[in-house]
Amino acid sequence: MPKNRRQFLKLTGAAALGSIIAKESFALSNSNSAEIIKPPRLKIGDTVAVTSPAGAVWDAAANEKFKNILEQLGFKVILGKTLTEKFGYFAGSDELRATELTNFFADKNISAISTAKGGWGCARILPLLNYNIIKQNPKPIIGFSDITTLLNAIYAKTNMVTYHGPVGNSGWNTFTTDNFKAVLFSDKPALLNTTGKEEDKHTAINSGKASGVLVGGNLSVICSLIGSNYLPDWKNKILFLEEVKEEPYRIDRMLTQLKLAGVLDAVSGIVFGKCVKCTAEEPEKAFTFMQVLEQHFKPLPIPVFYGSMIGHIENKLTIPIGINAEMDADKGTIQLKEGAVI
């Protein structure tokens, strides 16, 4: 039996959380008054567990490739059972994915949890997670795309900082790795900026600066959670968004949903990451993507800029959810006001 499999089976047997999760939902109240919980910073020699809480990993070689990347960063690695499970388009049943994630939080030998990929499925496991265990065992959980669900739900339920950053099948180039380290290896406030390449220039839709707590992630995922109790309060927040393969009319629809839900009127500033393949199939019959953004954002009395290195792109920032920051729409920067770890 492979070593990682033995470690997982030992963990699941010891924690015996599966039956507990199946019987009861551990939902804590969403609170803005509770003190923020920062996970300990990462260091060489720490153990990182890799899980797939959403889509199935169809390329088995991707698991070993990501394991090698993490080991090159100086980590020991545990690969979860979900990385080899298939349940339709999910990486195992809802119960398995929820149990594995909760167990990884409970394990004192694990310092951080990284996700293999996004896809779809995190929302299905939200009622099955044990948020008390998660809150009592703060550690970084990192991912993006559908992982947006977990990052915001865990922050909303526990006040623990989570991290919108690269997953296993991301390109772990120098820019992405350096920003990952700047946020997770150091307790100093990081400056989150563009790469400096001409193609990565930002656009200030509304000039100015704004301060607030960072929240956000994938636009369609956030919209799918509107009306649930798994999202944070939006007041005095800096909302960051990203999207991929959505036509302008769909972006329009989703931003309208945020407007009607009161989100856009509550936040203090908005940062939109680079939207990949967000052009209309019939451009002569449609608004452009930037026209849609301007229609929704220009009337707002808050700073807004487009083009941050967030989302389904090669060069990727790691954005801490729950941390105070200042955005500068004219410079296209996000300056953390505090360290994202302790």
CATH number at 298 reads: 3.50.30.60
Residue-wise pLDDT for 53-79, tens only, equals: 999 999 999 999 999 999 999 999 999
Q: Is 242 a catalytic residue?
A: yes
Which pLDDT belongs to residue 28?
Answer: 61
Q: Are residues 15 and 49 in the same domain?
A: yes
Q: Which of 100, 242, 243, 247 is catalytic?
A: 242
In a domain, 117, yes or no: yes
| Cα(62)–Cα(57) distance, integer angstroms | 8
Question: Both 197 and 162 in a single domain?
Answer: no
Chain segment 281-320, per-residue pLDDT in tens = 999 999 999 999 999 999 999 999 999 999 999 999 999 9
Mark whether 244 and 123 lie in a shared domain: no
Question: 164, 202, 296, 312: which is the annotated catalytic residue?
Answer: 312
Are 160 and 198 in the same domain? no
Cβ neighbourhood burial of 19 (10 Å; 0-12, 13-18, 19+): exposed
Same domain, 209 and 329: yes
**Alpha carbon distance 80, 247 (integer Å):** 35
Instruction: Flag whether 46 is in a domain.
Output: yes
CATH classification at residue 53: 3.40.50.10740
Under the banding of pLDDT at 50, 70 and 90, the label for residue 195 is confident
Q: How far apart are CA 270 and CA 261, in angstroms?
A: 16
Confidence at residue 200, expressed as pLDDT on a 0 to 100 scale: 87
Catalytic one among 145, 170, 220, 268? 145
In-domain check, residue 342: no
Please give the DSSP secondary-structure letter assigned to residue 2: -
Of 115, 142, 172, at which residue does a domain stop? 172
- Say yes or no to pLDDT of 22 above 80: no
Is residue 33 within 8 A of residue 64, CB to CB? The reply is no
Q: What is the pLDDT of residue 65?
A: 97
In a shared domain, residues 163 and 225: no
Kindly tell me if the per-residue pLDDT of 11 is higher than 50.
no
Q: Token match 């451009």: residue?
A: 283
204, burial (CB in 10 Å: exposed 0-12, middle 13-18, buried 19+):
middle
| 312 assigned to active site | yes
* Active-site residue flag, 64: no
- In this model, does residue 33 exceed pLDDT 70? no
Higher pLDDT, 9 or 332: 332
Average model confidence (pLDDT) across the chain: 92
Q: Is the pLDDT of residue 8 over 50?
A: no
**Same-domain status, 168 and 216:** no
**Chain center to CA of 215:** 9
Q: Alpha-carbon distance 263 to 72, whole Å?
A: 41
- Is residue 195 domain-shared with residue 304, that is, in the same domain? yes
Whether residue 31 is found in the same domain as residue 164: yes
Whole-prediction pTM: 0.92
Range of the domain at 167: 3-172
- C-alpha to C-alpha distance for 271 and 240, rounded to whole angstroms: 5
